[in-house]
Amino acid sequence: MKLIILGFSSAYPTLVSSTTSQLLEYNGKSFLIDCGEGTQIQLRKNKIKFNSIEDVFISHLHGDHYFGLPGLILTFNLLGREKPLNIYGPKGIKNIIVSLIKAGKTWTNYKLNFIELCSIKPEIILNKNNLIITTIPLSHGIYANGFLFRKKTTSHKLIMKKLVDEGIDKTQFSGIKIGKDGITNKGKIINNLELVEPLNQDVTYAFCSDTLFNRKIIEQIKGCDLLYHESTFLKKHENLAKKTYHSTAEQAAIIAKESNVKKLILGHFSSRYKELSLFLKEAKKKFNNVELVSEGKVFHL
């Protein structure tokens, strides 16, 4: 999996960054996570094929997380899109988007599938090609979800040299990949574990924006390979963070530490701060493997 940061500014776009949007690429498909204003420009800058996007995930209905979506939908239409677009977001998103499109007396020639979310518990919302996507309920004053992307490793990699040396016919390969023993051309049974590489563990990415400091998410994101957590404020504005249902860099780092994630990335910085390195400095006091996001930055998983 590959994560591309398209935008990370909170509240409104600046000359440094667009508002929140990220793209997760896996197996030739692109999953768009939030769609702040100007996301389509960021997609072009990062040379993303529009047609690779089949699923869009909107965390919540604050404008800085989805005001780019109506424009993107209509651009897709103008470019002749035919395949459906699946939009996962809070209940009410369908009415908003459809009303905007209808107000212009226009429509799309491709199908829009809205999957409206209202559960306050984690729920699996997509399961395809060994990728499972689950909501992470957040605490943000209005209904909000993060998203947990889990790439399942279900098929073992074969040790080809061993298979050839033992004289195991290729008709058995698909069975061995999923755990069956091999039988040599002399009828000898070879244990599956001798024929395959050890199974890699699942790969996980957790996207958590926007949210109040909320330890309830820890259980769900435990051991993640990569965690994006909002850090809108610095410690000196902790009260403001609480009042506006946001987090500080230090709080994001505490979540990362207590969840034992492998790496933390921070974004959604308030534009009141000109020196972003302070976010890194504050977070590092609690959790060392942390980076700030920037436009176009790529993370491999």
Which is nearer to Zn ion, 19 or 30 (by Cβ)?
Answer: 19
Q: Which of 34, 37, 55, 210 binds Zn ion (CB under 5 A)?
A: 210
Which is nearer to Zn ion, 62 or 81 (by Cβ)?
Answer: 62
Which is nearer to Zn ion, 151 or 268 (by Cβ)?
Answer: 268
Which is nearer to Zn ion, 210 or 250 (by Cβ)?
Answer: 210
* Min CB(62)–Zn ion separation in Å: 3
Asked whether 293 and 230 are in contact (CB, 8 A), the reply is no
Taking the C-alpha atoms of residue 295 and residue 276, their distance in angstroms, rounded to an integer, is 14
Residue 28: which residues within 8 A CB-CB, separation 6 or more?
52
Q: How many residues bind Zn ion (CB under 5 A)?
A: 2
156 touches Zn ion by CB under 5 A: no
81 touches Zn ion by CB under 5 A: no
Q: Torsions phi, psi of 114, nearest 5?
A: -100, 130
Residue 64 a catalytic site member = yes
Q: Quick count: other Cβ atoms within 10 Å of Cβ 101?
A: 17
Question: How many helices (DSSP H) and strands (DSSP E) are in the chain?
Answer: 9, 16
62 touches Zn ion by CB under 5 A: yes
Taking the C-alpha atoms of residue 252 and residue 263, their distance in angstroms, rounded to an integer, is 12
* Min CB(228)–Zn ion separation in Å: 14
Interface stretch with Zn ion, choices 61-69, 172-180, 186-194, 211-219 (CB under 5 A) = 61-69
Which is nearer to Zn ion, 62 or 151 (by Cβ)?
Answer: 62
**Interface map 5-44 toward Zn ion (x if CB under 5 A):** ----------------------------------------
* Min CB(227)–Zn ion separation in Å: 18
Residue 28: both structure tokens together: 């030739």
- DSSP alpha helix (H) spans, 28-178: 39-45, 69-78, 93-103, 160-166, 173-177
What's the angle, vertex CA 65, arms to CA 59 and CA 69, rounded to 5? 100
Residue nearest to Zn ion (CB): 62
Taking the C-alpha atoms of residue 66 and residue 48, their distance in angstroms, rounded to an integer, is 18
Of 34, 64, 210, 225, the active-site residue reads 64
Q: Quick count: other Cβ atoms within 10 Å of Cβ 281?
A: 13
Residue 82: both structure tokens together: 């035919």
* Min CB(294)–Zn ion separation in Å: 20
- For Zn ion, the binding residues (CB under 5 A) are 62, 210
Active site residues: 64
